[in-house]
Amino acid sequence: MKIGIMGGTFDPIHIGHLVAAETVREGLGLDEVWFMPSHIPPHKAEAGFSGEERMHMVELAIGTQPAFRTLDIELRRGGVSYTVDTMSELAGKYPDARFHFIIGTDMVNYLPKWERIEELAGLTRFAAVGRAGYELDKEHLPAAVAEVIDYFDMPQLELSSTEIRGRLKKGRSTRYLVPEKVHDYLQRSGSHAAYAGTTD
């Protein structure tokens, strides 16, 4: 089995995440992509939506693609979600699977700062998808890391969860930027009000 792991904070999930996952699924001929919300992201502020809410929105978002699944391993483990801990747990649980961890090119230059990155590079390959404004730059990476990165072009979507949260805060529309069911959930859950006091 060839499995893509789409890790993220998903605060909330948006169409950029889905296009990234679909691009790599097709490009590598993956059997499945597992969407994995982090508990506490290693290098950024804690999410505004709870883990339960973020997972629920991921479920709503991936509903119609049979190759997409959710993975709650990091939410269940708790604490800071270091990818190396997750991938070594997955390697033990699924010895026959080959994993491809999907990241935007914004994350690539930053890989050397990831927890125990050389160990992680022995546990998974990375599939980097083009993110608007970020060129892939493998030259500054340690060889062991550069070797395990595959690159895929995707339509550039200049979109982030930060943009979605900003819109929610201002009461602006998020329709079409997130899947319809996520949009409806955000409307119903009163998240405009929930985000009114946050700072980003």
Ligand X SMILES: O=C(O)c1ccc[n+]([C@@H]2O[C@H](COP(=O)([O-])O)[C@@H](O)[C@H]2O)c1
Residues of this chain that interact with ligand X (CB under 6 A) are 7-9, 38, 41-44, 81-84, 114-115
What are the residues whose beta carbons fall under 8 Å from the beta carbon of 36, sequence distance 6 or more? 5, 6, 7, 8, 70, 71, 72, 73, 74, 86
Question: Which positions touch ligand ATP (CB under 6 A)?
Answer: 8-11, 16-17, 20, 103-104, 106-107, 129, 131, 157, 159-162
Name the minimum Å distance from CB 78 to ligand ATP: 18
In this structure, what token pair is assigned to residue 2? 């060839």
Name the minimum Å distance from CB 75 to ligand ATP: 14
Angle 10-11-14 from CA coordinates, rounded to 5°: 60
The enclosing H or E element of 70 equals: strand 68-70
Name the minimum Å distance from CB 162 to ligand ATP: 3
For ligand ATP, which is the closer residue by CB, 20 or 123?
20
Rounded to a whole number, what is the distance in angstroms from the first to the last CA of the chain?
Answer: 40
Out of ligand ATP, ligand X, none, what residue 42 binds, judged by CB under 5 to 8 A for its kind, is ligand X
Rounded distance between C-alpha atoms, residue 36 and residue 76, angstroms: 11
For ligand ATP, which is the closer residue by CB, 4 or 123?
4
Out of ligand ATP, ligand X, none, what residue 160 binds, judged by CB under 5 to 8 A for its kind, is ligand ATP
